[in-house]
């Protein structure tokens, strides 16, 4: 799965999680239409937009120890390969972006296949 496909899948996942909240504010139809348009390729989200959706779902942070589980490599491999520097770091010390970690994991998965 390439980077764009991963971003679009994450976008649909986060939009699906936001449906109950959107229903409360009368935006459920808009969210559903956006999911369908994304599935059909009529609209696409970039990395910033997916990170915004992850923040809305309160699912944007990973501790440093959780990154290897998401990326699919060992902690030692990530440190030796200096891959932590490729993951977007958030303001708090030792906190990384979940979306950036998932994208790096897919990139490494494609690289080592």
Asked if 99 contacts 43 with a C-beta cutoff of 8 angstroms, the reply is no
What residues in the chain have per-residue pLDDT under 70? 1, 113
Can you read off the two tokens belonging to residue 15? 């939009």
φ, ψ of residue 70 to 5 degrees: the values are: -75, -45
pLDDT at 112: 78
Please report the pLDDT score of residue 87 as a whole number. 92
pTM: 0.84
Give the E-state strand segments of the chain in sequence order.
61-63, 95-97
Q: Cα separations (Å) of 55 from 15, 18, 61, 91?
A: 12, 11, 9, 14
Name beta bridge partners: 96.
62, 89
CA 96, CA 70: separation in Å to the nearest integer? 11
Exposed/middle/buried for 59, CB within 10 Å: 0-12, 13-18, 19+? middle
């Amino acid at each position: 799965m390439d980077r764009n496909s991963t971003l679009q899948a994450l976008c649909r996942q986060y939009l699906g999680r936001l449906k109950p909240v959107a229903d409360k504010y009368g935006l459920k139809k808009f969210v559903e239409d956006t999911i369908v348009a994304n599935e059909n390729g009529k609209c696409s989200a970039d990395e910033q937009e997916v990170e915004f959706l992850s923040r809305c779902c309160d699912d944007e942070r990973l501790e440093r120890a959780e990154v290897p589980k998401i990326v699919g490599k060992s902690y030692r491999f990530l440190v030796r390969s200096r891959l932590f520097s490729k993951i977007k770091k958030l303001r708090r010390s030792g906190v990384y972006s979940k979306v950036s970690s998932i994208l790096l994991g897919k990139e490494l998965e494609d690289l080592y296949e």
